[in-house]
Amino acid sequence: MSTATTSQKRQTLYRIITIGLMAALAYVGNYLQIKIPNGVLVTRIHLGNSMCLLAGLLFGGMSGGLASGIGAALYDLFDPVYIVSAPYTFFSKFAMGFTAGVLRRKGKSEKTSVLIAAICGQLVYIVLYLLKSYLTIIILGGTSEAAWAAVGTNAITSSINGVLAVVISVPLYFALSRALKNTSISPLIHGKTEEKKNWFNPLTVGLTIFAVVVTAIFSINLAATNKIKKAEAEKEAAYQQQIDELNTKLEYLYEQMGVELPVTEEAAEETK
């Protein structure tokens, strides 16, 4: 086995390890949170986004995106409140890490490019997250006003999360990139070993299709469940209306016939 092949395999192993490590940090960062109920939805202030941005800034678009998506999606899968949104979370967090990683590689000034990359990555996620919030309320049968109200509240928490993510991830990037300068993973950080540009490979295509299909199934199931609940509520209201009409007719007949209804034990107890 040639030295070049051995070195390439070693770099691949290092990349897999760094993806797993950053995914773990993104997962743990989501537990440092404050949950804020928002009607149908629950929004949060947390530190998970800072780790997602850091993954993209340190290790590039594809590696950072995978670490971000995997870590955040795992958090959703282990929380009953968010489990159904895990596929969309993977997609949106992947987009955040990927955007930060791709833009980080551009620009002559490192400080400027890192800051711009972090801000743009966070903005991409905020847009996707607010879009999801709006569509979820609409699919659940809410009004447009209710959906926009939820988006407004989520926009506030998302902005707080975004500011925290940028403020935390950018200094951490510079600290870690310098601290790891002489380590074996240094080429992955400083761009000496660039990621391959064939982003449309079987893995990324498969993950994208999976996220889209599961999100579509979730949306269809959510809409169908909401329609069933609405139909049941309408039937219950119709039955109650019929019962009220029959009671009104019976009371009228009793009054016309001079019949006095017997007092039940429950009614007698209530009058005591």
pLDDT at 171: 93
Paired tokens of 175: 């600290």
Domain total in the chain? 2
**In a shared domain, residues 25 and 120:** yes
- Phi and psi of 80, rounded to 5°? -55, -30
**In a shared domain, residues 223 and 148:** no
Residue 239 has pLDDT above 90, yes or no: no
pLDDT average, residue stretch 204-232: 62
pLDDT at 235: 78
Of 155, 172, 199, the last residue of a domain is: 199
Residue 113 has pLDDT above 80, yes or no: yes
pLDDT at 222: 59
Paired tokens of 99: 């955007």
By the 8 A CB rule, do 62 and 199 touch? yes
**26-84 residue pLDDT tens:** 999 888 877 766 555 566 777 889 999 999 999 888 889 989 999 998 888 887 777 87
pLDDT at 39: 55
Element (H, E) at 90: helix 86-104
**In a shared domain, residues 222 and 158:** no
pLDDT average, residue stretch 11-36: 84
**In a shared domain, residues 190 and 265:** no
Residue 91: which pLDDT band, with cuts at 50, 70 and 90? confident
What is d(CA 248, CA 42) in angstroms, rounded to the nearest whole number?
44
Residues contacting residue 48 through CB under 8 Å, at least 6 positions apart: 26, 27, 29, 30, 32, 33, 71, 72, 75
**In a shared domain, residues 173 and 235:** no
Q: Nearest-CA neighbor of 211 among 96, 87, 84?
A: 87
pTM score of the predicted model: 0.69
Of 144, 176, 199, the last residue of a domain is: 199
Residue-averaged pLDDT of the chain: 78
**144-164 residue pLDDT tens:** 887 788 788 778 888 888 888
Domain that holds residue 152: 3-199
pLDDT at 259: 64
**In a shared domain, residues 173 and 212:** no
